[in-house]
Structure formats: structure tokens, C-alpha cells
Amino acid sequence: ANILGIQAFQHAFPELKHVAVFDTAFHQTMPSHAYRYAIPAEYYEKHGVRRYGLHGTSYRYVAQEAGRVLNRDSNRLALVIAHLGNGASISAVLNGKSQDTSMGLTPLEGLVMGTRSGDIDPSLFSFLSENFAMSVEQTTNMLNRQSGLLGLSGLSNDCRTLEAAAKEGHAGATLALEVFAYRLAKYIGAMTVACGRLDALV
């Protein structure tokens, strides 16, 4: 989809310079102990299988803005920044550089999101295949589009709807919000470890 957009603009505006900004670029400062998966090294060395992270353009901006709001040099701050929405992630940013982030090879890893599961046991794929004859594609689709707040609540992926329903006693909405908050709190602790200290939670 992104390449199609680039090609369309190249065709429509051939005289203009085109620049691609990758959401993963900000996270290229992560140390190897943060981005490597504990799988055989050849998958990384030959195929680049590693944690890349996303929302990098947002994190870069927010880190700089946090410094402005705090009246501190953003290149001397230890920040844990939570990017919360239908797609959610969290990052440890130390002295303006990403130290770790919750999204991985794909946006599926990490926090519970609107329709994405976030972290799960990878053996779920074989369990669902063996017990429900679900293909890898079906499971991947379920984890990306039918899970998260929507899957837990059975109601919605929108926190406004879930908050209203929880006030009315909807058990699924209550559970979805509790799981979301609990997983976020666990990741805040983890990202504080990655920074080594914490000046601000953003």
C-alpha cells in the first residue's frame, strides 16, 4: 500500500523530490539485547528477523515536546512514553534515543490494542491449528483484527464505548479495560528498566 502511494505521487508530481520517513528508524538505536529475539542467530543474520518497533516519528516528536514542557534538555531525559490509541505501543527513550519499545517484527507484539492481542504465547498458533483447524493466516487475522479490546469485551474497540458500558456493569467492557491497564502498567515497569531511571512518564 505504501509503495502504491509513492508510485502514484511520482506519476502525479514527477518534478518533486520524494522522501520516505520510516516509523522504524527512530528505534535503530536500540541495543541488540533489546531488539534480538531468542531464536537461532541465522534468522537474524540471514533474514533480519528482529524487533523493529513502530510509531517512531511520534516518539521522536513527543520526546522533544516533553523536554519543552518540562523545561529540560530532551537529550538529557529518561522518558517512558506511551503511545495509546487503537494501535498502542510504549517506548523507553534515554537522552533522545530509543532504548526499547513494545512492538516487534510487526505491530502485533506488545500492548493490548483496539483489535490486536498484543503479547501472546506463540504456541497458540499450533493449539488453534490442532484443535480448531485454523490456518496461520486465520489466526494472524484473528489476532490483528478480532482481538484486543474488541475481543475481550465482545463489544467494541473504542475506549469511550467501553468506559460507558463498564459504568453500566458490562463485564466484558470492564475486563477489557482492566487487562489494557494492567498490561500497560507492566510495560511501564519494563521500560523503566530499559532507561535505568525515570524522569517522566509521558
Cell for 8? 502514484
DSSP 82: E
Let me know: does 107 contact 54? Beta carbons within 8 Å. yes
For cell 518497533, the residue is 53
CB–CB of 91/27 below 8 Å? yes
Rounded CA separation 42/130 (Å): 28
Nearest residue to 147 (alpha-carbon basis) of 157, 137, 138: 157
Q: Does the annotation mark 100 as catalytic?
A: no
Catalytic residue of the set 23, 119, 158, 199: 23
Contact 202, 80 (CB under 8 A): yes
Which among 115, 173, 121, 105 is positioned nearest to 142, based on CA atoms? 115
Contact between residue 53 and residue 89 where contact means Cβ atoms under 8 Å apart:
yes
Active site members: 23
